[in-house]
Amino acid sequence: MGDVFSNLALGFGAALTFQNVGLCFIGALVGTLIGVLPGLGPIATIAMLLPITFTLDPLGALIMLAGIYYGAQYGGSTTAILVNMPGETSSVVTTLDGHQMARQGRAGAALGIAALGSFFAGTVATFLVALAGPLLSQVAQNFGPAEYFALMVVGLVGATVLASGSVLKAVAMIMVGLLLGTVGSDLESGEQRLTFGIPQLADGINFTTLAIGLFGVAEILRNLEHTQDRGVLGAKITGLLPTWADIKQSFPPVLRGTAIGSVLGILPGNGAVLAPYASYTLEKKIAKEPQRFGRGAIEGVAGPESANNAGAQTSFIPLLTLGIPPNAVMALMVGAMTIQGIIPGPTVMVENPTLFWGMIASMWIGNALLVVINLPLIGIWVRLLRVPYRLLYPAILLFCCIGVFTVNNSFVDVLLVAFFGLAGYGLIKLGFEPAPLLLAFVLGPLMEENLRRAFLIARGDPSVFVTRPISAVLLLIALALLLIVLLPSVRRGREEVFQEED
C-alpha cells in the first residue's frame, strides 16, 4: 500500500509542474472542442498534433494527447445531449435520455450530471489503475476469443432493452445493424462483402458516418418537418445545474456505471465500447419505473456517462502494462511514445516509473480540469440552443460534413452521411429506433471475428464456449437476460388473449 502512495506521490510530483498542467489543460480544451464537433474525433486530432509532440518531453507529450482523448469523450456527450448527435461510440446511449432532457429544458442538468458523474468515475478509475493495474491486466489475459464472443452476445441481447418501444422493431433494427456491420473485407480470405466495388467501403462503413447520419441528420430532418415540435427552443430552461434531488437520484447509477466501466475497460479488445450500453441496460432493468427511460430519466445519463469515462481511463491499463493498445487512439499513443524513444511494453513500468506514474496522476488532473472547463461552458451551450433553428441547423450540417470528411479524407463518407440521414428519417417516421441498430453494427463484426477465431483455435469444436468457465458464465447471463426481456411480452400477450376471451 505504502508503495502505491509513494509511487503516486512521484507521479503527482511529475505531473503537477506548471508546464504539464498547462499541457493537460490545452489537451482537455482541444479535446472538448473536438468532441463537440461532430465527426472530427480524437484520432484525427491526435494524428494531426503528433508532430508538435516532437518538441515536448515524453511525459508532457503524452499528457497532452491523453487530455485530448478524454476531452473528446466528454465533448461527444455534449452534442449528444444538445442536438442528438453522438460524437463517439460512447455517447450514443447518452442521446437516448440526455437529448430528451434537453427538450424538456433540462439540458443544464444533463450536462452537469454528465460532468460530475464522469469526474467521479475518473477518480475511482485512476485509483484502480494505480492500485491494481498490472494485476488487472493479468486477469484480462484470460479473456480469449470465446469469452469476447460470449460478452458480445450479452451485449447484443441487452440491445433490445435500449429501445423504449416495441421489442419486435428493436430486433429488426438489430438485424439491420448486423447486416450493415458485414460490409467490408472478410478477415480471413480478404473477399469483399457488400462493397459494390467501392474501394472506400473495403474497410467497412465508418461508425461516425453511420451515427451522424442516423442520429444527427435524421434528427435535423425531423425537426424541419415538425416546426412546432422543436422543444429544444420552446421549453423554459429550468436552471443551469443539476438540483440536489438530481444528484441524489444519480448517485447510485454513477456508482454502478463506474464499476461496469472499470471492469469492461480493462479488456484489451476494446471492451470499453460496451460499458455505456451495459450501464443503461442495468439502470433500466432495476429502475422502479422503467417507462421513464427514453423520456428524460437522469439515471440514463448518469450511469452511462460514468461508465464510459471509467472505461476510457482503465483502457490505459493494457497500454501501460502490456504495451498493447486496446483501440485506435491508444495505438496513436504507442506511436507517440515510440517517436519519443520510449518503447511501450511490460518494461515501461520498471524502466520509466516517472512516465508511468506521471501519466496516471495526470489522468486524474485531466478529469478535474474537464469539470473546471465544462461546468461554466454549460451556460454557453444552453444559450446556444436558443439560436433560431433556421440558423442553427445549417451550421450543424456544415460541421457534420467537415467532421466526417476529416475521418478518412474521403468524399464517399459525406455522401454516405446523406444517405443514412434519409434512411434514419424514414426509420423515425416508421416508428423504429436507431440505437439498437448502432449497437448491433458495432458488436456484429466483433462477434463474428471472435466466433470464427474461437472456432479456428478450437479446431472447429463448439463445446469450447461452454467448457471455458468465463465464456460459459457469460452465455448463461445472456440467456437469463433474453428470458427477462421476452417474459413480459409473453405474459402481456397471454393477458391480452385472456382479456379478449373474456
Partner 1 sequence: MRYKSFAFAALATVMAWSGASAQNFPTKPITMVVPFAAGGPTDTVARLIAQNMSQTLGQQVIVENVGGAGGTIGAARVAGAEADGHTVLLHHIGQATSATLYRNLKYKPAEDFAPVGLITDVPMTIVAKKDFPAKDLKELVAYVKKNPDKVTLANAGVGAASHLCGMLMMQALGVQLTTVPYKGTGPAMNDLVGGQVDLMCDQTTNTTSQIKGGAIKAYAVTTPTRVKSLPDLPTTKEAGLTGVEVAVWHGLYAPKGTPQPVVDKLSKALQTALKDQTVITRFAELGTEPVAQERATPKVLGDFVKAEIARWQPVITQAGVYAD
Least gap, CB of 69 to partner 1 (angstroms) = 13
Residue 194 contacts partner 1 per CB under 8 A: no
Which of 47-55, 104-112, 271-279, 307-315 is the region at the interface with partner 1 (rule: CB under 8 A)? Answer: 47-55
- C-alpha 442/C-alpha 219 separation (Å) is 21
DSSP states of 338-389 as a string? HHTT---STTHHHH-HHHHHHHHHHHHHHHHHHHHHHHHHHHHHHHHTTS-H
Given 21, 131, 202, 470, the residue binding partner 1 (CB under 8 A) = 202
Residue with grid cell 450536462, as numbered in its chain: 111
> Looking at the chain, how many residues does it have?
502
Residue 347 contacts partner 1 per CB under 8 A: yes
**Counting beta carbons within 10 angstroms of the beta carbon of residue 395, is it exposed (0 to 12), middle (13 to 18) or buried (19 or more)?**
exposed
Least gap, CB of 243 to partner 1 (angstroms) = 43
Q: Which of residues 248-287 bind partner 1 (CB under 8 A)?
A: 268-269
- C-alpha 290/C-alpha 281 separation (Å) is 10
Residue 402 contacts partner 1 per CB under 8 A: no
Do 112 and 248 form a contact (C-beta atoms < 8 A)? no
Any bridge partners for residue 185, and if so which? 192
Least gap, CB of 460 to partner 1 (angstroms) = 10
Nearest CA to 403 out of 45, 28, 30 is that of 45
Residue with grid cell 508532430, as numbered in its chain: 51
DSSP 241: S
Given 47, 172, 175, 368, the residue binding partner 1 (CB under 8 A) = 47
Output the CA angle 246-366-100, nearest 5 degrees: 30
Residue 43 contacts partner 1 per CB under 8 A: yes
Which of 84-92, 192-200, 289-297, 415-423 is the region at the interface with partner 1 (rule: CB under 8 A)? Answer: 192-200
Least gap, CB of 15 to partner 1 (angstroms) = 23
Residue 388 contacts partner 1 per CB under 8 A: no
Residue 431 contacts partner 1 per CB under 8 A: no
Which of 121-129, 212-220, 337-345, 387-395 is the region at the interface with partner 1 (rule: CB under 8 A)? Answer: 337-345
Sign of CA dihedral 486, 487, 492, 497: positive
Alpha carbon of residue 309 to chain centroid: 8
Least gap, CB of 33 to partner 1 (angstroms) = 20
Binding stretches for partner 1 (CB under 8 A): 43, 46-47, 50-51, 54, 141-145, 185, 187-192, 199-200, 202-203, 268-269, 318, 322-326, 328, 331-336, 338-339, 341, 343-347, 408-409, 449, 453, 456-457, 459
